Amino acid sequence: MNRNEAATNQDIPTAEGTGTMLPPEILKIIDIKKHFQLKGGFLSRSKGILKAVDGVSLQIRKGDIFGLAGESGCGKTTLGYVAGGILPQTEGTIHFEGQPIDDRSGKLTVRDVQFIFQDISGALNPKWMIKDIIAEPLAIIGETAQVRREKTERFMKEVGLTLEYLDAYPHELSGGQRQRVSIARAMVTNPKLIVCDEPFSALDVSVQAQIISLLIKLKRQFDLTYLIISHDLALLQYICNVLAVMYLGEIVEEAVPAEKLFTNPLHPYSQGLLGSFLFADPNKQRIDAIEILAGEVPNPILPPQGCRFHPRCKHCRDICRKEKPVMREIDPGHRVACHFVQHDGS
């Protein structure tokens, strides 16, 4: 669905200010689609098209912590990869700091965008020493050995790793330390945007809290912008100032500040997701008392017609089966794609 251009230029207050001077847009993607051709069987005939991301527009402003929530298979990781420039889009345009990235030698560079990946063991080359892993982006942009060493040591200290690990290999480190290494690696080139794909999901709770605090500290210190992809709503509520909820390749609801989406979720999917999420509080969240969203995410190769959420939606009516809802702004900064949400939020 095509979110109209007018909406993207409106004054939306961010968590930092109340709309007087907005920070500049760092990343703007317009109507991005990413389709995968599925092949297999006799003579690699096409088995169908997987529309992982199907028409998403969003903008990330400088200093934002932009959260992307959704169930597995909704396309949030693919969107993160496309937005960060490591996966080419099928359709749509990406602007980085106001420039369409096709004009900037075709792609984003390691200087601008860095990634922190979910699979912390897989993201670090087991045959490389920590110092080489952290310095790799610097080597790519052609820094001298002297600069590489200085920056590696500096950022190891910034992320809370002692220098005794310089010559260690990834397997000698604990999960939390490995995640610190990938954060240091993402930081060395002073990027403007860091895409974090489920950065905490493989970690224990006490380590998770340490890594969250580290990311917040680094953001303040280096004026960073994050795109955080996660299914952990408690975490997104804690850390994000903008939140978008994805379902089957589309954004169904977006809110600035993110708190609006938590206090007043408008899309039935967001309501279901929030209702099913188990926040750690025994005083209000017993399993037999909460309202759980029924069903599972359908097969993305054959997404439902009309509103993609309609087979699971309890408010589903005829129009939902036929017509795709358009993204509308319900109140300033809060947009939703649903036929039935009114301006009073009903």
301 binds other proteins (CB under 8 A): no
For other proteins, which residue of 6, 21, 43, 280 counts as binding (CB under 8 A)?
280
> Is 222 or 277 the residue whose CB approaches other proteins more closely?
277
> Any contact of residue 71 with other proteins (CB under 8 A)?
yes
Among 45, 127, 171, 286, binds other proteins (CB under 8 A): 286
Q: Which amino acid is at 105?
A: S
What backbone torsions phi and psi does residue 77 show, to the nearest 5 degrees?
Answer: -65, -45
Give the three-state DSSP class for 152. helix
Supply the minimum distance, in Å, between the C-beta of residue 83 and other proteins. 22
176 near other proteins, rule: CB under 8 A: yes
Min separation Cβ 47 and other proteins, Å:
16
Q: Residue 307: CB partners within 8 Å, gap ≥ 6?
A: 313, 316, 320, 321, 323, 324, 325, 337, 338, 339
The two structure tokens encoding residue 298: 């359908």
Find the binder of other proteins among 169, 277, 324, 329 (CB under 8 A).
277
Binding residues for other proteins restricted to 76-135, rule: CB under 8 A: none
Could you tell me the two tokens for 35? 């389709």
Residue closer to other proteins (CB basis): 12 or 236: 236
- Which 231-250 residues touch other proteins, going by CB under 8 A? 231, 233-235, 237-238
72 binding other proteins? (CB under 8 A): yes
Q: 226 by DSSP, 3-state: which? A: strand
> In which residue are the tokens 């969203």 written?
293
Residue 213 within binding range of other proteins, rule CB under 8 A: yes
CB of 332 to other proteins, least distance (A): 20
| All residues at 6 or more sequence positions from 200 whose CB lies less than 8 Å from its CB, including other chains | 179, 208, 211, 212, 230, 232, 235
Q: How many residues bind other proteins (CB under 8 A)?
A: 42
3-state secondary structure of 142: coil
* 293 touches other proteins (CB under 8 A): yes
Residues 185/137, Cβ–Cβ less than 8 Å: yes
Q: For residue 162, state whether it binds other proteins (rule: CB under 8 A).
A: no
Closest CA to 71 of 294, 217, 230, 268: 230
Pick the piece of the chain touching other proteins (CB under 8 A) from 147-155, 269-277, 322-330, 337-345.
269-277
Q: Residue 221, interface with other proteins (CB under 8 A)?
A: no
Residue type, 128: W
By CB under 8 A, residue 141 contacts other proteins: no
Q: Least distance in Å: CB of 340 to other proteins?
A: 21
Tell me if the bond preceding 257 is cis, omega within 30° of 0.
Answer: yes
From 164, 288, 318, 344, residue interacting with other proteins (rule: CB under 8 A): 288
Report whether 197 contacts 80 (CB < 8 A): yes
The span from the CA of 221 to the CA of 223, in Å, is 6
- Which residues contact other proteins by CB under 8 A? 71-72, 174-176, 204-210, 212-213, 231, 233-235, 237-238, 263, 272-273, 276-283, 285-288, 290, 292-297
